[in-house]
Amino acid sequence: MGQSLITAIRDNTGSTRSRFSKKWAKTIPFLLMLPALAVMGLFALFPVINAFRLSLFDKQLLNPGETFVGLDHYSQLFSNGEFINALKVSVIYVAGSVALQFLVGLALAALLSAQGVKGKRFFRTAFIVPYTLSELVVSLIWLQILDTEFGIINYFATLLGADPQNWLFDFALPAVIVANVWWGSTFSLLMLESAMQGIPKELYEAAEVDGCTSWGKFIHITLPSIRYVSLLNMIMITLYTINSFGIIFVLTAGGPLGSTDVIGMFMWRSAFQFMDLGLGATISTLIFVVNILITLVYIRLFGLNTLKEGA
C-alpha to C-alpha distance for 85 and 285, rounded to whole angstroms: 18
* pLDDT on residue 15: 62
* CA dist 18 → 12, 22, 35 (Å): 10, 6, 28
- List pLDDT tens digits, range 132-185: 888 899 999 999 999 988 899 999 988 988 888 899 999 999 999 999 999 999
* pLDDT on residue 263: 92
Determine the longest span between alpha carbons in the chain, in angstroms. 108
- List pLDDT tens digits, range 83-94: 999 999 999 999
* pLDDT on residue 233: 92
Rounded mean pLDDT of the chain? 86
* pLDDT on residue 245: 81
The 3-state DSSP class for residue 221 equals helix
pLDDT surpasses 60 at 196: yes
- List pLDDT tens digits, range 55-107: 999 988 888 788 899 899 999 888 889 999 999 999 999 999 999 999 999 99
What are the extents of the domains in the chain?
72-303
The 3-state DSSP class for residue 166 equals coil
Q: Who wins on pLDDT, 30 or 48?
A: 48
pLDDT surpasses 80 at 264: yes
* pLDDT on residue 11: 61
* pLDDT on residue 5: 58
pTM equals 0.82
Share of the chain above pLDDT 90, in %: 44
Question: Residues in the chain, how many?
Answer: 311
- List pLDDT tens digits, range 213-222: 888 989 999 9
Residue range 295-309: mean pLDDT, rounded: 69
The 3-state DSSP class for residue 160 equals coil
Residue ranges with strand state E in 24-169: 57-59, 66-68
Q: Who wins on pLDDT, 41 or 133?
A: 133
**Residue range 72-303, CATH number:** 1.10.3720.10
pLDDT surpasses 70 at 3: no
* pLDDT on residue 311: 44
* pLDDT on residue 304: 56
Which residues lie below 8 Å from residue 108, measured CB to CB, with a gap of 6+? 127, 185, 189, 193
